[in-house]
Amino acid sequence: MRRCCLVLALVTACGFVAHTATFAVEPSPNVVLFLVDDMGVMDTSVPFLTDDAGQAKRYPLNDFYRTPHMERLAARGIRFNNFCAMSVCSPTRVSIMTGQNATRHRVTNWISPDQDNAGPQGPPSWNWKGLRKSDVTLARLLQASGYHTIHVGKGHFGPRGAEGADPLNLGFDVNVGGASFGAPASYYGTANYGNAGGSQKKTASHAVPHLEKYHGTDTFLTDALTQEANAQISAAVKGGKPFFLNFAHYAVHAPFNSDPRFAAHYKNSGKSPQAQAFATLIEGMDKSLGDLLDHVESLGVADNTLIFFLGDNGSDAPLGHQHEVACAAPLRGRKGAHYEGGMRVPFIAAWAKASADHAAQKRLPIPAGAIQSQQAAVYDLFPTILALANVPAPAGHVVDGAKLDTLLAGRRDTTRDELFLMHYPHSPHRSDYFTVYRSGPWKVIYHYFPSKASEDSHYQLFHLADDPFEQRNLASSHPDELRRLMQELIAALQRHDAVYPLDKKGGTMVKPKLP
């Protein structure tokens, strides 16, 4: 797709060349999706949240974690402090690949590799099988338009043996480390990442594939994947094609194996050994980002390489109760929960090296050190990246996301709907059978089967602008707003062709009720 120059000859009706002009055509930009598993918006030394004046505000967790390379990336680009993901892994991953809300593609739960995990009252027609060969994916569209498409790290697009288990079936030219499962058996090279060999008697069901050359070494999984990603970037650059790298770290997902390279930084933190190990996974992931930035710079392609850094769901930091202000403090909740801590993720977009005169950067300018507070979500990446690469989405493929260009430029986009729908018709997880709907400053949560976690009600209502940490449930005191938001929630589910939980007998779908 690299077209160095195009000679255009305009021929008149008489048949002679009237004018010849030479246009330099820019090479297509390289795109790196740096996707961190289970990383929430507070799991970093980069402050994402802001004060009333819109300035970055540090909280104690920002001083616990060490992510200097995220700081470097944030200084080069823009970070979003209101970026939403689905509350668990696979739904977000499929949304990134399809541009669709999980409600629509119906991978509404994480995909258990060996058995359908709809849950006891989950919808049987949810999409446990995940992505298929025939599905429209971001990778396939880029591949068809001339990109070299690389997947490194965690896949989790489909169960074991299904088409989606192998990223090579989904439009990737290369797959290193991607498989059906989400959690690695081990981060340790000395344990062969769970594969048989050496002192490892049996291959574990979640053994990370393709990394044999690191077996028996002290190469931590995050580092092995980084070396592989950088080698793939080198090969792509050598081959002269633009590349799309889906660099999907297993970190910082459990098991919380302590990374010995960084353990000393946290030993006097007063935090539990698990929390310290989690922090080492964060710092190892951050070093990976730094190594990648250095590498694209050393190859001379940094000014033509766009980095999107993000998490796939809210924090899983082992710092306290899943429904309290603890794991993602000051946000409430944790991965899987219906509170903001379960679905707010870090998002940074930056050219790997700023160059104001670069053609691609002129088309998509990104200010340095900026913060964007307008709400956006994981499915917005699909239209954004396709537009940047000049690739149209196929007719008939419904896209729920909207281009981020205006937001990436640091401006407010008044044409965007400020809506977010997160549908989780499953159990068991940190929260069960719920739908979240955000509209402007309001957030309503519908609980299909009231429980202690839902304050024994179907409804919770929060005003996030006034109460960003979800301390005041307004469902009883604001019945008009509750009813209006619930009407919108029900309409949004219908618009996305949702499937719903079943009643206890397992026969009838249970749809949300108006208050």
Q: Which of 33, 38, 224, 257 binds Ca ion (CB under 5 A)?
A: 38
Query: What is the 8-class DSSP label of residue 340?
Result: G
Of 345 and 352, nearer to Ca ion (C-beta) is 345
Of the candidates 462, 416, 490, 448, which has an alpha carbon nearest to the alpha carbon of residue 103? Answer: 490
For tokens 């979500």, name the residue: 377
Query: Cα(424)–Cα(419) distance, rounded to whole angstroms?
Result: 17
For Ca ion, which is the closer residue by CB, 38 or 286?
Answer: 38
Comparing every residue's Cβ against Ca ion, the nearest one is 89
The smaller minimum CB distance to Ca ion, of residues 311 and 501, is found at 311
Given 180, 227, 313, 427, the residue binding Ca ion (CB under 5 A)? 313
Measured from the CB atom, the residue of 312 and 432 that comes closer to Ca ion is: 312
Residue 30 to residue 244: CA distance in whole angstroms: 6
For 189, which DSSP code?
Answer: G
Q: Does 43 bind Ca ion (CB under 5 A)?
A: no
CA distances from 503 to 115, 338, 377 (A): 21, 21, 31
Q: Are 449 and 121 in contact (CB under 8 A)?
A: yes
The distance of closest approach from Cβ of residue 313 to Ca ion in the complex, given in angstroms and rounded to an integer, is: 5
From the list 29, 37, 314, 448, which residue makes contact with Ca ion (rule: CB under 5 A)? 37
H/E run at residue 306: strand 305-311
CB of 130 to Ca ion, least distance (A): 14
- What are the CB-based long-range contacts (under 8 Å, 24+) for 448-455? 448/500, 448/501, 448/510, 448/512, 449/121, 449/501, 449/510, 453/323, 453/338
Instruction: Tell me if 312 contacts Ca ion by CB under 5 A.
Output: yes
Tokens of residue 313, six digits: 């769901």
Residue 359-398 contact track with Ca ion, rule CB under 5 A, x = bound: ----------------------------------------
Piece of 117-125, 239-247, 311-319, 422-430 that binds Ca ion (CB under 5 A): 311-319
**Calpha distance 31→471 (Å, rounded):** 39
What is the spatial distance between Cα 438 and Cα 441, in angstroms, rounded to a whole number? Answer: 7
- Grouping H, G, I as helix, E, B as strand and the rest as coil, residue 434 is strand
Binding mask 86-125 for Ca ion (x = CB under 5 A): ---x------------------------------------
Q: Which stretch binds Ca ion (CB under 5 A): 300-308, 310-318, 325-333, 423-431?
A: 310-318
Nearer CB in complex with Ca ion: 252/293: 252
Amino acid at 43: D
Q: What Cα–Cα distance (Å) separates residue 129 from each residue in 108, 116, 125, 163?
A: 11, 8, 10, 8
Site pattern 172..211 for Ca ion (x: CB under 5 A): ----------------------------------------
Minimum distance from residue 39 beta carbon to Ca ion (Å): 8
Tokens of 174: 């290369």
When the beta carbons of 85 and 371 are compared against Ca ion, the nearer one is 85
CB of 37 to Ca ion, least distance (A): 4
| 133 backbone dihedrals φ, ψ, rounded to 5° | -55, -35
Q: Given the rule CB under 5 A, which of 38-46, 196-204, 273-281, 369-377 is the region that contacts Ca ion?
A: 38-46
CB of 277 to Ca ion, least distance (A): 17
Encoding tokens for residue 92? 């977000």
Per CB under 5 A, the segment of 101-109, 187-195, 309-317, 464-472 that binds Ca ion is 309-317
Using CB under 5 A, which of the segments 34-42, 49-57, 451-459, 472-480 binds Ca ion? Answer: 34-42
Contacts to Ca ion by CB under 5 A: 37-38, 89, 312-313
